[in-house]
C-alpha cells in the first residue's frame, strides 16, 4: 500500500533527480534553460584566457608588468598612425605582450579590446 501512495512515488522521483544532479554537477539548471547565458560564459572565458596566460607568463619569468608609458590603445586600426617614437618607447611589458599576441593573430583578444 505504501509503494502505491502518491507521496512515495513523488519521493522516489525526486530521489532519482537528486542522484542525477549529484553525479553531473556541471549541469546547472540555469545553464540548461538559458543557452544565451551559457554562450556568454564560454565567450568570456575565451576573452580572459589570453590575458591570464600573459599575466602568468610575466610572473613565471619574473618580468615586471609596467613600463614608462602605460596608456593608449593596444589595437591600432588600419589607416591610423602611431606616434613616431612608439617603436622606441616601451609601453610596459604587459601591454607589449598583449599587443604582440594581437599582432600574432589572436582574433578573440583583438575583438575584445576593440569593443571595450
What is the pLDDT at residue 75?
66
72: left (phi over 0), alpha (psi -120 to 50) or beta: left
38 found inside a domain = no
Kindly state whether residue 103 falls inside one of the protein's structural domains.
yes
Same domain, 16 and 60: no
Query: Average pLDDT over the chain, rounded to whole?
Result: 79
Residues 62 and 87 in one domain: yes
pLDDT, tens digit (0-9, with 9 covering 90-100), for 26-83: 666 666 677 787 788 888 889 999 999 999 999 999 988 876 666 666 666 555 555 4
Q: Does residue 70 contact residue 108 with C-beta atoms inside 8 Å?
A: no
Residues 51, 27, single domain; the answer is no
Predicted confidence at residue 76, as pLDDT, reads 60
Mapping DSSP to helix (H, G, I), strand (E, B) and coil, where does residue 51 land? Answer: helix
- The answer to whether the predicted template modeling score (pTM) of the entire model surpasses 0.85 is no
CA 64/CA 58 separation, integer angstroms:
7
Helix, strand, coil in percent for the chain, rounding step 5: 65, 0, 35
The whole domain housing 73 covers 43-115
Total domains in the fold of the chain: 2
pLDDT at res. 33: 72
Residue 64, CA distances (Å) to 7, 110, 112, 115 in order:
64, 23, 24, 27
Q: Are 48 and 81 part of one and the same domain?
A: yes
Amino acid at each position: 500500500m505504501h509503494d502505491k501512495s502518491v507521496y512515495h512515488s513523488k519521493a522516489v522521483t525526486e530521489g532519482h533527480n537528486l542522484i542525477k544532479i549529484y553525479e553531473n554537477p556541471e549541469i546547472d539548471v540555469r545553464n540548461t534553460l538559458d543557452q544565451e547565458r551559457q554562450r556568454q560564459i564560454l565567450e568570456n572565458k575565451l576573452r580572459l584566457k589570453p590575458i591570464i596566460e600573459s599575466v602568468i607568463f610575466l610572473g613565471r619569468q619574473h618580468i615586471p608588468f609596467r613600463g614608462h608609458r602605460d596608456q593608449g590603445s593596444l589595437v591600432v586600426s588600419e589607416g591610423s598612425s602611431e606616434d613616431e617614437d612608439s617603436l622606441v618607447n616601451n609601453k610596459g611589458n604587459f601591454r607589449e605582450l598583449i599587443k604582440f599576441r594581437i599582432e600574432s593573430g589572436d582574433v578573440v583578444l583583438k575583438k575584445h579590446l576593440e569593443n571595450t
